[in-house]
Amino acid sequence: MCGIVGVVGTTMVNQVIFDALTLLQHRGQDAAGMVTSHNGKLFLRKDNGAVSEVFRTRHMKKLCGTIGIGHARYPTAGTSSSAEAQPFYVNSPYGISLAHNGNLTNTKKLAQEVFEADLRHINTTSDSEVLLNVLAHELHAEGKLVPKPSDIFNSLERVYARIQGGYAVVSLITGYGILAFRDPDGIRPLIYGSRETADGTEYMVASESVALDAAGFKVERDINPGEAIFVDVNRNIHFKQCTPAKVARPCLFEYVYFARPDTVIDNISVYKARINMGEKLAEKIEEEWLNHDIDVVIPIPDTSRTAALQIAQRLNIPFREGLVKNRYIGRTFIMPGQTVRRKSVRQKLNPVPFEFKDKVVLLVDDSIVRGTTSKEIIEMAREAGAKKVYIASAAPEVRYPNVYGIDMPAAAELIAHGRTAEEICRLIGADKLIFQNLDDLINACIDEKHSNVREFDTSVFDGKYITGNIDAEYLENLEKARNDVQKSGSEPQQSSDMMQPF
Ligand SMILES: O=P(O)(O)OC[C@H]1O[C@H](OP(=O)(O)OP(=O)(O)O)[C@H](O)[C@@H]1O
Ligand SMILES: NC(=O)CC[C@H](N)C(=O)O
Ligand SMILES: [Mg+2]
């Protein structure tokens, strides 16, 4: 679930892109990159690492220009190699750089077309590099030396006709502007805003509203499913609905885990949705668990805090911060590889024994995916002297792989795949386990007053893939290619780009 940003400003944009990427860091911590443009030249810096590690002062000084795009990566295709850090670049036509959040589901076919029919070379296994080449091919096919917005949108309509999956994309067309677009179902989020300066209006497109808020950009609106926005170098703004308008079906897991709580996606506050998740789960506990003996509610930091607080309030039970999070360790779920994830849970979370000793504790997590976190924490709770350890998950059982930009490719790695709640409970070592119902989760996210979203991409919970092109064979191949064992294999280290990053 990468973070993307694009800015067309009146002054240098490197710092504002850096700041936005820092605010989007929770969406991807494997690699980061930025391209800026000045006087027809491009400047690229990208590498593995967190945003603050990738961009040092010496790099920032070279990233000049009033227009640029950035990316924070969490790999869902290809490898974690620095060669697959984004933005990607192709020189023809115009010089195009691209940053992508999401995952294409017809990459194999596209890669073949790009090579055999479009006569283009792809140097990595990244779906985003394929996407860039499809865009470049279609822009080239339009055949305009000086493309107008209508030419760009025409080519983009053909791109939409070719690509499938979940995607939010931002691309810099050198000398012309920034083009950003969102998949036809609105699975991945994309929003834009503006900021007034003495020299005119500046624009930012980003994955989450939090990036706009913090930089003083006023949120204008979400980009609609299948819609594109083009901000030219003179800061004129253009829109085009590139596919027939559909209802938005944003990814439900954004509200559960991915997005920051202070973000608003498709006019739904992530914070409010998480409060509602807590409320619904507390109702379920009250209904199914008469005369429970819970002494204390303890969140598994960070993401579950909002829901846990509401559960405690509704059940009228003390809420305690019994687990302390090391603020210097990133999110464990988006780390590549199970060994590092397991080790990081212990490094990241440490119990306050006093809050567990001789108590019946209800641990709350936002989701249980591989079960890595809950298993370790339950063990810790017992070591700290808990009398009984219950666990509640604000999301239902995650039973199916994700194909739209979350790295859950292998059903076998999901603890709930093919298992009942009782079996999962036993495996993670809890005394009792309770999951949110899917309908309750959906209702927790619907905000009839502010948003017209009524449906979501719920594929990880119910196995229904809304893009319609996912079958058993696709999932089988994905599992073979991207399971944890496979991913820990060797990775190419050369840069993929013809434009060498510094
Ligand atoms: O069952 P698992 O495979 O362990 O995955 C689920 C856990 O991973 C995430 O936490 P993470 O540490 O990534 O981030 P957070 O600090 O935002 O909660 C999520 O919040 C759950 O705690
Ligand atoms: N998490 C994402 O959005 C990943 C983008 C792209 N598929 C990559 O692997 O780089
Ligand atoms: Mg967590």
The Å distance, Cα 59 to ligand 1 centre, comes to 32
Distance CA 166, CA 173 (A): 22
HSE toward the beta carbon, residue 175, CA cutoff 13 A: 11
Ligand with smallest separation from the Cα of 347: 1
Ligand-binding site membership of 118 (annotated): no
Instruction: Per-residue pLDDT tens, the chain, 502 aa: give them.
Output: 799 999 999 999 999 999 999 999 999 999 999 999 999 999 999 999 999 999 999 999 999 999 999 999 998 888 888 989 999 999 999 999 999 999 999 999 999 999 998 999 999 999 999 999 999 999 999 999 999 999 999 999 999 999 999 999 999 999 999 999 999 999 999 999 999 999 999 999 999 999 999 899 999 999 999 999 999 999 999 999 999 988 999 999 999 999 999 999 999 999 999 999 999 999 999 999 988 999 999 999 999 999 999 999 999 999 999 999 998 888 877 777 777 777 778 888 999 999 999 999 999 999 999 999 999 999 999 999 999 999 999 999 999 999 999 988 889 999 999 999 999 999 999 999 999 999 999 999 999 999 999 999 999 999 999 999 899 999 999 888 877 776 665 444 455 555 667 7
Ligand-binding site membership of 365 (annotated): yes
The Å distance, Cα 350 to ligand 2 centre, comes to 31
Please give the structure tokens belonging to residue 471: 């079958």
Ligand-binding site membership of 79 (annotated): no
Report pTM: 0.95
Q: Are 183 and 165 a contacting pair, CB within 8 Å?
A: yes
ipTM of the complex: 0.98
Q: Is the CB of 367 under 6 A from ligand 1?
A: yes
* b/e code 350-386 from CB counts within 10 Å (16+ = b): ebeeebbeebbbbbbbbbbbbbbbbbbbbebbbebeb
Please give the structure tokens belonging to residue 84: 């697959």
Whether residue 425 lies in the annotated active site = no
Ligand with smallest separation from the Cα of 376: 1
Concatenate the DSSP letters of all residues of 370-389 into one string.
Answer: SSHHHHHHHHHHHHTT-SEE
The Å distance, Cα 2 to ligand 2 centre, comes to 6
Ligand 1 atom with the shortest distance to the CA of 373: 4
**CB atoms inside a 10 Å sphere around CB 39:** 7
Strands (E), 403-482: 432-435
Q: Which residues contact 198 (CB under 8 A, 6 or more apart)?
A: none
Q: Is the CB of 101 under 6 A from ligand 2?
A: yes
